[in-house]
Chains A and B, each alone.
Chain A
Amino acid sequence: MTIHYYTNWFSSIEKFADRSIRPVYWVANIPSRIGEWVDLSSTDRSVIEKENLRLKQESLIHRGQLQRMAELAAENLRLRLLLNATELLTDSILVTEVIGVSPSPKSHTLTIDRGLQDGVYVGQPILDAEGLMGQITSVFENHSVALLITDITHAIPVQVLRNGMRSIAEGTSDYNNMQLRFLSPTADIREGDELVSSGLGGRFPPGYPVGSILSVEKNSGEKFIEVNVRPAAEIDRSKYLLLVFTSQDGSRNGSSQ
């Protein structure tokens, strides 16, 4: 057990099991699919029409904001060129559906319905509508396994949006909590501060929301403060996720879905 926990020696056995497990996950998802179907069937036509109208309005607002973003991105690029800084990488995305969740409360992994056929690769970031969720750890022909940012073995480089202070957010095996480690008591960090990915390490693209500071506890006599972070993503609830392809991946040049 300990050997397996700390090493990858049994990865071939795990991969073999993961290949054959997809039908089991498909069956396990039937109740939630039936629930969705019942929800949809029992919803009034007028409610659906109202929701459709709301979504159209939301889409219009987002498109307006996107135009503003495009303008800002172009301006940012011009300024970076003036500073001789490297060009920012552009990301494209692919929508994916969660088909399985680890039943163990201590192991935070997801199985998604995209695999090698869709160009998914190990280390690829995934996010939901609210923020970063995790990264891909195993890829199979038509499904993949992702490790969530709240898993105890996961760590992600972040920075505070307010002042750019860098740190590393680690999972704690709690879906609603992460921790920033080794921050000195003089660190400029407050409750409510937003954290985004810093892009350091090259694994996660910079600028995606990771979470917000839930509490900062300074214990006298301790060398470091205890900082708890609430993840921005709805880690245990999101059904549809986005796979991020940065332009340096090469496998998926600028295509999006």
Chain B
Amino acid sequence: MTSMRYSLTVIFSLMLALVLQLIPVSADWLSWKPNFLLLIVIGWVIFQPNQWGIGFAASVGFLADLVFRSPLGLHVFLFVFISAVPYLLSGWLLYFNFIHRCVFVFILIIFSELLRNFMYSVWGVPVDYGEAPLGAISSAVMWPVIDKFLVKVHKRRH
């Protein structure tokens, strides 16, 4: 895979995740919506930590803040904080199999939701911490698709 094609794949995956994140759903299903953008960021950091690291996560977080009209810095903080974990554990992650990665991503997303709720509670917004696992479950269900896609891209690249 040429570097041009590789970069386009990364941009396309981010755009697709962004669009999926913006698809409107009713309030009853909002808590169940997978965090597509964070999943794809975690995915790129897990599979290419040398190329897509903390700076990449911060840039996507900034984009998310602008698109989702959230307080500037909220997604930057969340994405950087969450991506730092797979980035720092990148040496260990080589030994993780598919199931390990699913569980790892599930824990990361739960942590991200708890952190987001905590940030909102600091600003006085009522939050329900009980909803955090819902998004994490649906994200973990979506992860195999992203995992397969990234494994495929990774194999083509090397």
> Which residues does A use to contact B, with CB under 8 Å?
1-2, 4-5, 10, 13-14, 17-18, 21, 24-25, 27-29, 31-32, 98, 100-107, 109, 145, 152, 172-176, 235-237
Q: List 26 A-B contacts (CB under 8 A).
A: A1-B71, A4-B72, A4-B73, A10-B72, A13-B72, A18-B69, A24-B18, A24-B19, A24-B67, A25-B22, A28-B19, A28-B20, A28-B22, A29-B23, A32-B23, A102-B68, A103-B33, A105-B30, A105-B31, A105-B131, A106-B125, A107-B68, A109-B69, A152-B124, A236-B27, A236-B30
| Assembled-state Cα–Cα distance A13/B67 (Å) | 11
Task: Convert B59-96 into 0s and 1s, putting 1 for each residue whose CB lies closer than 8 angstroms to a CB of A.
Answer: 00000001111111110010000000000000000000
Could you tell me if B24 and A32 are in contact, using CB atoms closer than 8 angstroms?
A: yes
Please, how many angstroms separate the alpha-carbon atoms of A183 and B155 in the complex?
Answer: 64
The answer, among B18, B30, B69, B120, for a CB contact under 8 Å with A14, is B69
A109 to B71, CA, bound (A): 13
User: How far is the CB of A172 from the nearest CB of chain B, in Å?
Assistant: 6
Nearest residue (CB) in B for A153 is B125
Q: Check A5/B123 contact, CB under 8 A, given A10-B72, A107-B69.
A: yes
Decide: A1 near B74, CB < 8 A? Known: A103-B21, A106-B127: yes
In the bound complex, how far is the Cα of B120 from the Cα of A173, in angstroms?
11
Instruction: Check A21 against B67 for contact (C-beta < 8 Å).
Output: yes
Given known A4-B71, A152-B125, contact A28–B23 (CB-CB < 8 A): yes
B126 at the interface (CB under 8 A from A): yes
CA distance A187 to B68 in the complex (A): 40
> Cβ of B72 and Cβ of A1 under 8 Å apart?
yes
Whether, in the assembled complex, B103 has its beta carbon less than 8 Å from a beta carbon of chain A, the answer is no
Chain B's nearest CB lies how many Å from the CB of A111? Answer: 9
* Cα–Cα distance between A102 and B68 once the two chains are bound (Å): 6
Q: Given B27, B67, B124, which contacts A17 in the complex, CB threshold below 8 Å?
A: B67
Residues of B within 8 A of A109 (CB): 69
Interface centre among B18, B72, B77, B127, by most chain A C-beta atoms within 10 angstroms, is B72
Contact of A173 among B20, B26, B73, B125 (CB under 8 A): B125
Known: A1-B77, A28-B24. A172 touches B72 (CB 8 A): no
Whether, in the assembled complex, B8 has its beta carbon less than 8 Å from a beta carbon of chain A, the answer is no
Q: Which residues of B contact A174 (CB under 8 A)?
A: 126
- A27 and B66 in contact, given A100-B24, A106-B120, A172-B126 (Cβ under 8 angstroms): no
B28 to A, closest residue via Cβ: A236
Asked if B1 lies at the interface with its beta carbon under 8 angstroms from chain A, I say no
Report whether A175 and B27 are in contact in the complex, using a CB–CB cutoff of 8 Å: yes
- In the complex formed, the residue of A with least CB distance to B72 is A4
Given A27-B19, A100-B22, 8 more pairs with CB closer than 8 A: A2-B122, A25-B22, A29-B24, A100-B24, A102-B69, A106-B120, A145-B69, A173-B126
Between B71, B126, B127, B131, the greatest number of chain A beta carbons within 10 A of the residue's beta carbon is seen for: B71
Q: How far is the CA of A17 from the CA of B70 in the complex (A)?
A: 12
Q: Which 6 A-B pairs have the closest CB atoms?
A: A17-B66, A175-B27, A28-B22, A236-B27, A1-B73, A101-B24
Closest B residue to A21 by beta carbon equals B67
Shortest Cβ distance from residue A37 to the other chain B in the assembled complex, whole angstroms: 16
Residues of B contacting A173 with CB < 8 Å? Answer: 125-126
Contacts of A14 in B (CB 8 A): 66, 69
Name which residue of chain B comes closest to A176, CB basis: B27
| Interface status of B141 (Cβ within 8 A of chain A) | no
Q: Are A237 and B26 in contact (CB under 8 A)?
A: yes
B119 within 8 A of A: yes
Question: Which residues from chain B contact A1 at a C-beta distance below 8 Å?
Answer: 71-74, 77, 119
Verify B22–A5 contact, CB threshold 8 A: no
B141 smallest CB distance to A (angstroms):
18
